[in-house]
Structure 1
């Protein structure tokens, strides 16, 4: 089935700009208090937890969710502004971001009422962190090849197997995981997967940290050994989670976080080159800014479609594909443009340090949230090309 691609030219309304001013003031105050350093944003867990609660007090977590669950019923465009400002400032959002971006909307749509009443208000207050259990060893980004098994027993399900590249699992309270409950059929290899809400404190769960060449340790191998999950923790349709997973990824793939992860390279480059760039630097920066503006317009358009209750899966895949390729290339291009800078430039050392970090994290950007190859398969299918 083909879809008609749409990127409506949506503009942020004035009240969103007022919100932006408020968020910037809040973040400036947090930086002044020493909560985090935008140049070195790694925050200790206690500081990140406290920051998460203060963001919750502002009403900036679960902004679009129903008020009966603690949400604000504000627009996706307002949420977009908060996300954009947090990302540009390198704020320590890991504690609440996955819950806000996709776990909460998934629970609202598919979980039973008791779970909604229990978890969603706590998520809104910034008290509960989530991770996503999709990828597995040996299957890469092919979610439908998942083998970690959930076996039905009296009163619940036993889970055995391994998930990998699970960001922040070691500090998360819950996971929404994709597990094999039946074998795929010849007609439908997507059949047989079910989503479960997993309490990460359940006996039998072990998180093994995976070091990255950047020095970060946020990825995990999560091992499940006879982990008992109650029946009421099934999220949505048994054996039909692939339908949920694809719509859930529209939330994950389209936001400004999908092209702003290395944004600091551009801001530091502009600062280093200064107000009188030569022709080469001016052309290079102008091209990068024009590309960034285009990505932002596309991303805002997807936020507008989410606001309208649509599921722009293909458009989100396009934003993610183009966005991660751009942010992956940005540190390399910034280094090229900075090649002839004087070592006496006021922020030369900061620029070099940030570029060294971004160059190390760049390889993962076109993998997380769906590889370039997977995304282009989704796009091709949506266009009727496969």
Structure 2
């Protein structure tokens, strides 16, 4: 499987369809995602009756890892393949599966994540977006924020409160599949400090969602969203976003680095090996139908701390003047990594939230 992906990426590079130095799993390229679909690199674990290949989570893990390591611009289909498709397969109606899953497999259906809300940080239980029951479905009103690629997504899975909030704050929530092309959904851009448009605010104004687009049963939202986060937090994208920076730093240091540089690079390689082993183990748990929520939180916490540290160490080890968008090779790569690094330990849950989850899971609090 590794060789198959590497041959595909080598062919695409020879056609100049992407620049591996400038991409990561967040890079959006619709045409490249379509090519991945044609090559059969999306929906590997999806059942064959929906266009998938019925493969194992281990094979899927290998494909994800190779695409990231090769600098492939897979951001268009990544969320749909990594978690949204699995959520629909496990908890969606047959109508939703038939409508959406085959399109994900072709690399032409994109998803956004509708969890975070204004003023709530990483506290998902603080959801205020509400849905009320109407004939044939639900009407949703509220706001989601930090929704990556919502301006390009066809669908969004939203966590919404469907019952009044009580002291049991994890109850009364439901997940809905939102069609972004329908009335009552407005997407507003949130520009990064360097001018990039990745994030968005999504506003629901009496938006109608039919019963066929509900995930699970009304009120199941909390258990469903925590299971979904096991997919989001444990994949190799949580510790390989700046893998290209690590490789280029090693190349810049050459075959005979000084003792300090060798120590730093050796430490990173050891951490990467451990993270790969941990993430691989979670892939096995998912294959067995388990929900490794605490294990996924641990990988995400350690992995994104690892990602955040790489550009800081690289800047000290390799003489450079980090830039953005000037075509200066390593300087550009390092500049982009430095600016994006703070987001690593926030997206998908802050370190503080994750460490609280880990402590509870270990019985320490």
Q: TM-score, normalised by structure 1?
A: 0.89
Cα deviation code 1:183-210 (max 9, x no counterpart) = 2222x11111110010000112111111
Whole-Å Cα distance in 2 between the matches of residues 215 and 40 of structure 1?
Answer: 17
Shift of 1:310: 1.5
Cα deviation code 1:68-91 (max 9, x no counterpart) = 111111111111111011112221
SS of 1:294's partner is: helix
Counterpart of 1:368? 347
Shift of 1:336: 1.5
SS of 1:29's partner is: helix
Counterpart of 1:116? 97
Shift of 1:349: 4.5
Whole-Å Cα distance in 1 between the matches of residues 196 and 70 of structure 2?
Answer: 19
Residues 1:211 and 2:191 aligned together? yes
Shift of 1:42: 8.4
Counterpart of 1:312? 292
Residues 1:246 and 2:226 aligned together? yes
Find the partner of 1:358 among 332, 337, 341: 337
Whole-Å Cα distance in 1 between the matches of residues 195 and 258 of structure 2?
Answer: 35
Q: TM-score, normalised by structure 2?
A: 0.94
Cα deviation code 1:324-371 (max 9, x no counterpart) = 0010111001112224x89xxxxx952222111111001111111111
SS of 1:176's partner is: strand
Whole-Å Cα distance in 2 between the matches of residues 369 and 226 of structure 1?
Answer: 27
Question: How many residues of Structure 1 are paired with residues of Structure 2 in the alignment?
Answer: 359
SS of 1:169's partner is: coil
Residues 1:35 and 2:17 aligned together? yes
Shift of 1:280: 1.8
Residues 1:130 and 2:111 aligned together? yes
Larger RCO (CA under 8 A, 6+ residues apart): 1
Q: Unmatched 5+ residue regions in structure 2?
A: 322-326
Find the partner of 1:228 among 203, 208, 227: 208
Shift of 1:323: 0.3
Whether the 8 Å contact between 2:24 and 2:74 is mirrored in structure 1 is no
Counterpart of 1:282? 262
Shift of 1:40: 2.2
RMSD: 1.9
Residues 1:327 and 2:307 aligned together? yes
Shift of 1:41: 2.8
Whole-Å Cα distance in 1 between the matches of residues 174 and 31 of structure 2?
Answer: 34
Whole-Å Cα distance in 1 between the matches of residues 193 and 302 of structure 2?
Answer: 24
SS of 1:354's partner is: helix
Whether the 8 Å contact between 1:36 and 1:42 is mirrored in structure 2 is no
* 1:176-215 correspondence runs (5 A): 176-186=157-167, 188-215=168-195
Whole-Å Cα distance in 1 between the matches of residues 111 and 181 of structure 2?
Answer: 12
Whether the 8 Å contact between 2:24 and 2:241 is mirrored in structure 1 is no
* 1:38-187 correspondence runs (5 A): 38-41=20-23, 48-186=29-167
Cα deviation code 1:169-190 (max 9, x no counterpart) = 000000111011112222x111
Provide closer, same or farther for how the CA distance between residues 83 and 358 of structure 1 changes in structure 2, counting only shifts above 3 A.
same
Cα deviation code 1:139-191 (max 9, x no counterpart) = 111111010111111222111111000010000000111011112222x1111
Shift of 1:380: 1.1
SS of 2:257's partner is: coil
Deviates more, 1:279-288 or 1:76-85: 279-288
Whole-Å Cα distance in 2 between the matches of residues 283 and 234 of structure 1?
Answer: 51
Counterpart of 1:21? 3
Q: Unmatched 5+ residue regions in structure 1?
A: 1-18, 343-347
